[in-house]
Amino acid sequence: MFWQKWLTPKPFNSGWLPAKDGHEIYFAEFGNPQGTPVIFFHGGPGGSCKAKYAKSVNLRKYRAVMFDQRGCGQSRPLGKTDKNTTQDLLDDVTRLLAYLNIKDKVILCGASWGSTLALLWAEKNPQRVDKLLLSQVFLANKDYNDWEFNGNRYCYPEFVADMEKKSSGKIKSYYNKLIQSDNQRQQLEAANHYGWFERVCGSMQPSFASFTELSPKELASQRIFMHYAAHNFFLSDNDILDNINKIKDIKAVIVHNRIDFIAPLKGAWDIHQALPKSELVIVPDFGHVSKKLQQTIQKEFNRALK
């Protein structure tokens, strides 16, 4: 029935991977158990998978596999940063596929930080990847690290200056120390400044948040994000582009807003230029997330998966 497309999909299988390094990774599968696997990488760092994401694919044809990264969502323990690096997350994907007995080629789908992980895992396992579906591409490289504050200070000078003053110029390490503490006041300071900066960027009427308390999930999300940001996402200056030749024969669809203050379009453009079999769809819209962007992602990914 036509109304079924509005329903939130229900998983046909879910659970946790056997514990490793003190982490239990939550996963859920939707759609056709015999269908081509589509592996979803959520954003963040610090986000979580959502059942509604499964509607990006035809669930009668595809097997949508989602998981919450270490310390995120329903993975346990919530907010744990020990033994939580980019390499650990990539290893978890390999373990998940083995646990689910997925041996065929897979399609990787990732947005923002999820696109980072999808690209990295593809470069490590090019023979196992059939196609890449990427949006809001985030390369977590030197260009991004330079842009985050030095670029955004041209449009949001008061916010960057405020954080620099409070942190004596060491924004990431300062706020990471606060969010990792057991002091609620310090946690709130971190959440209300650096933790909110991503939402400030791209806003026409920006203002810092006014959190008065943090729920366990909010604290976990902030804690994971700042842990990764403070360690340059556990990557060298240009890991993805330095190894992009390994996936030059893989088809890719890339969707990105023209104006994105979090992950500027140049990252998506660089990936498109490096992948001969890629398509880049530039959405004439504003922000890291927008309604028009989401509609275009749905349209383009559905077209790619016909």
Cβ proximity of 240 and 116 under 8 Å: yes
3-class DSSP state for residue 135? strand
**Model confidence pTM above 0.85:** yes
Give the model's pLDDT for residue 291. 95
Q: Which residues pair with 283 in a beta bridge?
A: 257
* Domains within the chain, CATH numbers bracketed: 2-140+237-304 (3.40.50.1820), 143-234 (no CATH)
Catalytic residue among 68, 260, 270, 285: 260
> Is 210 one of the catalytic residues?
no
> Is 173 one of the catalytic residues?
no
Give the model's pLDDT for residue 5. 54
Catalytic residue among 112, 115, 221, 278: 112
Alpha-carbon distance of 290 to 293, in angstroms, equals: 5
Retrieve residue 175's tokens.
């706020």
What are the 10-residue block averages of pLDDT along the chain, 306 residues in total?
61 97 98 97 96 90 97 98 98 98 97 98 98 98 94 96 96 98 96 91 85 93 98 95 98 98 97 98 96 95 90
> Is 256 one of the catalytic residues?
no
Q: Which residues pair with 256 in a beta bridge?
A: 282
